[in-house]
Amino acid sequence: MAADRSFAGLLRAWLTVYLPTTRGSSANTVAAYRDAFVLLLRYFQDRCGRPPERVQMDDLNPRAVNEFLTWLADTRHASAATRNQRLAAVKSFLRYAQSQAPEHIAVAGPVLALKPARSPEPVVAYLTVHAVKLILAQAKRSSLRDLALLTLLYDTGARVQEVCDLSIGDLRTNKPVTVTLTGKGRKTRTVPLTGQAAAIVVSHAATLDGRPAKTPLFENRDGRRIGRAGISWILQDAVTRARAGHEDEIPQKATPHQLRHSKAVHLLENGVNLVYIRDLLGHASVTTTERYAKASPEMKRKAIESASAGIVTETIYDPGTRQDLLTWLRQTL
């Protein structure tokens, strides 16, 4: 039976076969790409009067795609970063479509040439070492599970979904204690735990002793694998209680990703090479990791001091001249 080379057929195969199976994309990636096309079809319905079943490959032309991105900005107030994500989804589909149906190359080419919108570099929000300690201290008061979860999240610099997906079998409890994380594109990496973190996580794992290797390492109250919302709630609960007396140091709200950012910045401030931090975080390129160096005032201070070392020498002004300069500055200011 010949494959369906229409827009609907290609879209179905892309979402249900190519992305999850052939490419090995995560469920979150597939969901994000699906949502992009839900919005695109809604745009065709609302603005073009074309119901989803009538959309054809030829409708995905540069003019329509640009108008779709403008519609996102005007009606949904989507940021440049969000619009770029939607455009990336459309491009991913068109790359697939032209590989499966070469007759669509002429349609795909012009859209693939579209440039993403310029967007400001996102601010890297991170916590101080002391703030992390205060938050973990509050998690310890809640339960061993909460302490182990947040400790592992910070110590490994893991993405929240990577922690959600952990099973007992992913934790190596013999020394050196390591955990195997499965990240974007189903790529795995093995991350060692520091001594104190290892002791906490292994203690939690001991409470699950005797259960199958595929048992979730962290479960919710119903005994099922904990989700992103559950982890966010645990963190926010600890943050709220840790703020008492430390309002200036701990923000009102914190996200699991901030713990990942915090770990990266703390490692940089302690002189760890960017390449090692890249591997720890599972970044595809060290360029992504470099943003943490820009985010840390401590790193900037060290860079400035290093650059100016040996340049600033003894002053050329004698004491009398310096006093005259100070007097002039006071009068000027």
Q: Which residues are catalytic?
A: 159, 184, 257, 260, 283, 292
- Euclidean distance between CA atoms 278 and 290, whole angstroms: 9
The per-residue DSSP string of 45-95 comes to HHHH---GGG--GGG--HHHHHHHHHHHHHHS---HHHHHHHHHHHHHHHH
Which residues contact residue 304 at a Cβ distance below 8 angstroms, ignoring those fewer than 6 apart? none
- Euclidean distance between CA atoms 122 and 81, whole angstroms: 9
- Euclidean distance between CA atoms 260 and 235, whole angstroms: 13
Strand, coil or helix: 307: helix
Angle ∠(214,219,225) on CA atoms, nearest 5: 60
Q: Burial-class residue 142 by CB neighbours within 10 Å (0-12, 13-18, 19+).
A: middle
The C-alpha R_g of the chain, in whole angstroms, comes to: 26
Which residues contact residue 163 at a Cβ distance below 8 angstroms, ignoring those fewer than 6 apart? 149, 152, 153, 218, 231, 256
Structure tokens at 207: 């409470």
| C-alpha closest to that of 165 among 205, 212, 202, 215 | 215
Strand, coil or helix: 23: coil
